[in-house]
Chains A and B, each alone.
Chain A
Amino acid sequence: MSDTPTVPFRILPKLTDANREFWQGGQDNELRFWRCQDCTQFIHPPQPICPSCYGKNLRVEPVSGRATLTTYSINHQPWMPGPELPYVVAIIEIVEDPSVRLTTNLVDCDHADITIGMALKVQFEHHSDTDGDVWLPLFAPELGAAQ
């Protein structure tokens, strides 16, 4: 970890009514997903109907922010301006529903200690933008968790 963390260049998502709660939940330190209020199915990415019951009674709900590492890659290639190389791209599944996954970055973690299945906790990287601020959900090893 750097002593003076800087926020890397990121291409930010185009905000819409469907995705705003997800990308701005970090303002309240919350990871949020759409969820069907009829059958409890989490829904990601956002879509107009529940993929399980096809209902439209959908709301955004916060989850714990705890997750499990499904897989990862340590990226060495300078595709574009971004985090300092090498950085870790990961796919995580949230503990509330392992079928809900995010592509993200694994941070605050020695690359030699990365293990698929490790317990993770969300943290947010804030980006100010004239089109609306964005808080990217990144993940770090969960403190105190048995790895």
Chain B
Amino acid sequence: MTETLDANSIIERRACVTGVGQSDIGRRLGIDPLELTLDACIAAIEHAGLTPADIDGVATYPGPMAVPAGFSGAGAYDVIDAMRLSVGWYGGGLETSGQLGSVINACLAVASGLANHVLCFRSVWEGTAQGSKGRSAVMPGSGGSGSFKASGFTEWTLPFSAPSAAVWIAMFAQRHFHLYGTTREQMGWIAINARRNAALNPKAIYTDPMTMDDYLGARMIATPFGLFDCDAPCDGATAVIISRVDRAKDLRNTPLRIEAVGSALRGRPSWDQFDDLSTMATRDAGAQLWTRTDLKPSDVQMLQAYDGFTFLTMSWLEAMGFCKVGESGPFVEGGERIARDGVLPLNTHGGQLSAGRLHGYGFLHEAAIQMWGEGGARQIPNNVEVGAVAAGGGNTCGCLLLVKE
């Protein structure tokens, strides 16, 4: 775990981000999810200055899934076939280091020479798939039928009327509150920061200003989470091109080299059996990242970190060493450090809380947009040469360090 690696072993450094693309994003677009996915993929290829013939790898998370409704808009095979791609490597699946696990896999694929340019994508259509009935309506067994039985990991939560990640992650936050004195007022700055950034993002879902009173006054979901601690399900797809650095030299954008990745899981892969219920595999992925680079957290000029729930961003801040363990509350309090002009601009597109639950890939997209200076009204004033991206929570966590050279 702590052995020193020689630089040649850190092969993700042979990979870089060369283009990003995004479909339309909305609460309920009513568009075929494969079409949304392909819109993002084609946009990313074009943005990189490549053609579909250059794409020889495909990576996605989580692959095709019928349940929960809208959780996956397309799988790798769907895109390979629809675009008639010819690939040297491809992969999609849920059992990896969070949504960015698929990007990490792509980095390894290009570094090993199995592919030169990997099209990575994540698409969701939870808004349309869940309809106007709300998330409750899509919970398994919610029709009240006595015939549905819980099995697999839901066996241990569904019988206790705890069907949602909101409840599971709320319990991690509650333990953090207990151990470190973290407060709702501190956590609220994650949501408020996201909303003020979303106001400058033309694709964001929620852009109305949010005050601390708005945040605290919202209805409770599962303590300590209120409504504004939870992200906004939507329709939308994001695609990212991962290229090998030797193939990226003459493309449209300055390559964003992958300096290091974190993919570790060192506790039990479980929401309730994980060893320390005040942290998550964020701890493991974050720690691993810094064993693979000479850079330090103080070198990072921007963080795009998962906010499916506010507490997850706080967990990443601690896990990646931007503050000490237990001190994410004071770190974000007041919202100055994490503002666009602060020491660590955070979730500059509005995160999933306000810009929509694009599920992990939205953070990588935003990191690239900022590092390429394409952020428009929400552009970070300082030139960002080192950026960090983190996605996931619970036992499924991954992170990346990007360097613009």
Contacts and interface: CB of A to CB of B under 8 A. Distances in A.
Interface string B141-175: 11010101111000111111111101110111011
Interface residues of A, number: 42
B164 A79 contact: yes
Interface stretch (B217-225, B243-251, B358-366, B378-386): B217-225
A14 B155 contact: yes
Interface residues of B, number: 43
B337 interface: no
B160 A74 contact: no
Which of the listed residues A70, A101, A103 has the most CB atoms from chain B within 10 Å of its own CB?
A103
A73 B162 CA distance: 10
Given A71-B171, A102-B272, A77 B166 contact: yes
Contacts of A62: none
Contacts of B273: 44, 99, 101
B136 interface: yes
Given A71-B175, A79-B142, A13 B150 contact: yes
Nearest to A82: B161
Nearest to A87: B161
Interface of A: 8-15, 19, 44-45, 70-83, 86-87, 89-91, 99, 101-105, 116, 129, 131, 134, 136, 138
Contact of A70 (B170, B175, B222): B175
A76 B162 contact: no
Given A76-B220, A134-B159, A14 B151 contact: yes
B49 interface: no
Contacts of B277: 70-71, 91
A75 B167 contact: yes
Interface string B232-270: 000000000000000000000000000000000000000
B161 A89 contact: yes
Contact of B155 (A19, A116, A138): A19
A71 B159 CA distance: 18
B139 interface: yes
B161 A13 contact: no
A82 to B, nearest CB: 4
B159 A78 contact: no
A72 B171 contact: yes
Given A75-B223, A89-B162, A99-B275, 19 more contacts: A13-B149, A13-B151, A13-B159, A74-B223, A75-B167, A76-B219, A77-B164, A77-B222, A79-B135, A82-B161, A86-B220, A87-B161, A90-B171, A103-B157, A103-B160, A103-B162, A116-B174, A116-B175, A131-B149
A3 to B, nearest CB: 22
